[in-house]
Amino acid sequence: MTNPFALAVSDIDGTIATIGEPISKANLEAIRKLQSIGIEFALASGRHHNNMRRYCELIPGIEWLISSQGAWVSNADKSVVLYEGYMRPKHVAALLENGRIHNYSMLVYTRDAIVTPHYDDWIRFYEGLANNQVVETPASEIPSLHAYKMVWLEDEARVHDAACIPLPSDELLGMQTQPNLYEFMPATTNKGYAVSVLAKHKGLEAGQVITLGDAVNDVSMLKWAGCGIAMGHGAQVAKDAARIVTPPAKPSEALAAGIELLFKEFNLS
């Protein structure tokens, strides 16, 4: 059977590897197996582009990165940018004020860095979560810095409560992405649209694309692709959106199990 796929786009945290752990040998070998039959491998993450670049060294052959939940699509060195989705400065200012009023720790992903109006223990926690570096910046300056998304941090109960705080505009979307993180971004920002932008650039249809993910923020790309593969340990909404769900496996090797099922279902070689 002719290989119908040309591109695979994968989430990082919870899919390629567990946060704070190295990529397993099984997952690395599975990625190389895809690449060996001519399927290009790319990454789509909520992480900042600068934080994702180290994965290009860990996984040779990666050229394209989708970062900040789909707000930025470019090659690894940013010399070719396919898409940028910024928040309006007035919305950034409003979210900063809401966060201050409700006493959340806050950080903002901008084009060049991750910034915070106040460095505290929650920001320190975030830096350790995935080797991020956060720069303290006056709140008055942040709205002008080309922001992709904002993150509020607190204990799990208070992060859950963030969903009850009215958004300053229907142009914004809010979602809880980790137990201690609630994220805000433009309503038009999602991984599915970003993957479609990359696919169009490469002259590919959805049916030629594989996506792999585990979480709520992966649902749009799992639905869009010709074959979405969800990790069995992931969120139910992600599994519901996928064509393939990995069988019981160690979370660190679930991606490899999913790629094995892909090869069997489509008789790839």
How many domains is the chain partitioned into structurally?
2
The pairing of beta strand 244-245 with beta strand 227-230 = parallel
Domain shared by 14 and 102, yes or no: no
- Residue 1 falls inside a structural domain: no
163 and 211 inside one domain: no
* The pLDDT of residue 1: 54
Q: The domain that contains 75 carries what CATH number?
A: 3.40.50.1000
The answer to whether residue 2 is domain-embedded is no
Instruction: Identify the CA nearest to 231 among candidates 245, 211, 243, 217.
Output: 245
Nearest CA to 30 out of 267, 222, 254, 206 is that of 254
Question: Do residue 193 and residue 262 come from a single domain?
Answer: yes
Examine the domain organization and report whether 103 and 182 are in the same domain.
Answer: yes
Per-residue confidence (pLDDT) for residue 2, from 0 to 100 = 73
Angle between helices 254-266 and 25-36 (to 10 degrees): 30
pLDDT tens for the chain, 269 residues: list them: 578 999 999 999 999 998 889 999 999 999 999 999 999 999 999 999 999 999 999 999 999 999 999 999 999 999 999 999 999 999 999 999 999 999 999 999 999 899 999 999 999 999 998 888 999 999 999 999 999 999 999 999 999 999 999 999 999 999 998 899 999 999 999 999 999 999 999 999 999 999 999 999 999 999 999 999 999 999 999 999 999 999 988 999 999 999 999 999 999 98
CATH number reported for the structural domain that contains residue 158 in this entry: 3.30.1240.10
Q: What's the predicted TM-score (pTM) here?
A: 0.89
Query: Do 176 and 237 lie in a common domain?
Result: no
Residues 205, 250: one domain? yes
The parent domain of residue 135 ranges over 89-186
Same domain, 202 and 167: no
The predicted structure's pLDDT at residue 20: 82
Find how far residue 59's CA is from the centre of its chain. Answer: 17
